[in-house]
Structure 1
């Protein structure tokens, strides 16, 4: 069994060094050695898996991606950050969020989407995250934006939402590329259903393998493994399973679509390809460059150096190395349409007759 976090190594900002160091121990680097026991171990220790990953990866995410840790569609000539914001607006629009609603953001990261949606829809948002370091960053950035009276954050487990907030507590709940980290979709969707008021709406952008993915094909299995280890995901699962889980817990689906299936001339994974010629704006050149060979070289050696100097916790460099595995797996699976980061579902909790 992989080791779990040693809380005595916690940093003042909430990161736990031992947890970061132990992160990669949850996977067999050689996929041929992976078995069901490894998967079960990650699922049962999902809190340590997630926290070990985000303790090490959050700073790298901010450096390479900004404050909204998700993918999006792109229009020709559209800036990277504008596309991310539009993706968040689209979710809020499809959920029909209204001013004054109390909304829960499940797996809120460092609050980028919450700040955007709060201003776009004029709603009150509670951000939930089980990573103390990310919650601290979210509070700091939200205060800087002057939105602390509209958005609050709390540390908590998304598998225990009813225990945390009580049933029928929110008008709406959304999750953006977060619930894939759950040990089971029925578990996390069921908790979301409980905390929603009757008639409340749930919107999600889910990470999942598409119907084209066949785990019996070694290359397909390997690409899913790369997504898992490079993104802190205990187990990648198929889209059909996500849809069924939403129905199984009692939601009524009002709209569903895999946005990655739209015939966009610019693919959702283009920033990961590292091809500067594909940057949509001059400002985006730097974002794309970070994933080029020279950009990876600078990050690789720079991160190694600052870890040696004690500027970041031990283990951060190794987590950073898994991000390269993730990028390659995401681009490959995106090109072959084996994976989607944007299976969109708008579902409603039935209201009593």
Structure 2
């Protein structure tokens, strides 16, 4: 992505701020987080202080997130968006699907999960050109992206030691 130490990076709807912390810690860039969720903003602020990144971070509450991203995006620059969305296989009458969605909403401070189609429609509505849309849960990689989230460290593909 070409991010350097003097770069200014905008993180939008970053949940617990993991990507912003990585960019701030490993690259040293200044990160501004734009989020519409008070719980997540407060959570990220605490992390920024704990990891001594609060001097290189700003936190802004904003609604209409996709429209604001498109409005301020410089010509030729890229907006990357990732998050928890529901696929077409989601069945709102299936109790197991409802439980999974509710757990994700509670654990990640999400007010209401939307469908992938809903997110894509919102991006297109504000004028975005969608270059890549990928469901990471549907990848056929030998090592799944989510293994680093499991409890068994021997199964993970990401390791942080502090």
Indicate whether the TM-score tops 0.5.
yes
Aligned to 2:58: 154
Measured on the aligned residues, the alpha-carbon RMSD in Å equals: 3.2
Higher relative contact order (CA 8 A, sep 6+): 1
Q: Counterparts of 1:219 and 1:258 in 2: how far apart (Å)?
A: 20
> How far apart in 1 are the matches of 2:148 and 2:79?
29
Residue 97 (str. 1) matches residue 2 (str. 2)? yes
* Correspondences of 1:17-56 after superposition (within 5 Å): none
- The 3 A distance-change label for structure 1 pair 249 and 272 is same
SS of 2:77's partner is strand
Work out which of the residue numbers 17, 21, 27 in structure 2 matches 1:112: 21
Structure 1 segments of 4 or more deviating over 4 A? 98-101
**Aligned match for 2:82, one of 205, 221, 235:** 205
Q: Is the CA contact 2:24–2:31 (under 8 Å) kept in the aligned structure 1?
A: no
1:256 aligned to 2:130?
A: no
User: 1:221 aligns to what?
Assistant: 98
SS of match in other structure, 2:30:
strand
Counting only pairs closer than 5 Å after superposition, residues 130-141 of structure 1 correspond to structure 2 as: 131-132=41-42, 134-135=44-45, 137-139=47-49, 141=51
**How far, CA to CA, are the matches of 1:245 and 1:117 in structure 2?**
32
Aligned pairs for 1:274-293 (under 5 A) are 274=151, 276=152, 279-280=154-155
Q: 1:157 to 1:267 in 2, by over 3 A?
A: same
Gaps of 5+ in 1: 1-95, 160-186, 285-353
Of the two, which has the highest radius of gyration? 1
Deviation string 1:303-330 (CA, Å, 9 cap, x unpaired) is: xxxxxxxxxxxxxxxxxxxxxxxxxxxx
Task: Give the TM-score, by structure 1 length.
Answer: 0.36
**Larger relative strand fraction:** 1
**Alpha-carbon shift at residue 208 of structure 1 (Å):** 0.6
Structure richer in helix, relative to its length: 1
Runs of at least 5 residues in structure 2 that lack an aligned partner in the other structure: none
Distance 1:196 1:224 in 2: 31
The answer for the alignment partner of 1:194 in structure 2 is 71
Corresponding position of 2:33: 128
Q: What is the Cα deviation at residue 251 of structure 1?
A: 0.5
SS at match of 1:126: strand
Query: C-alpha displacement at 1:211, in angstroms?
Result: 1.3
Q: Please tell me whether the aligned partners of residues 31 and 58 of structure 2 are also in contact (alpha carbons under 8 angstroms).
A: yes
Return the alpha-carbon distance in structure 1 between the equivalents of residues 81 and 88 of structure 2.
19
1:270 to 1:136, Cα distance in 2 relative to 1, 3 A: closer
Q: How far 1:207 moved relative to its partner?
A: 1.2
CA distance in structure 2 between the partners assigned to 1:137 and 1:225 by the alignment: 24
* CA deviation after TM superposition for structure 1 residue 107, in Å: 4.4
| CA-CA distance at 1:249 after TM superposition | 0.9
How many residues are aligned here?
Answer: 149
Partner-residue secondary structure (3-state), 1:127: strand
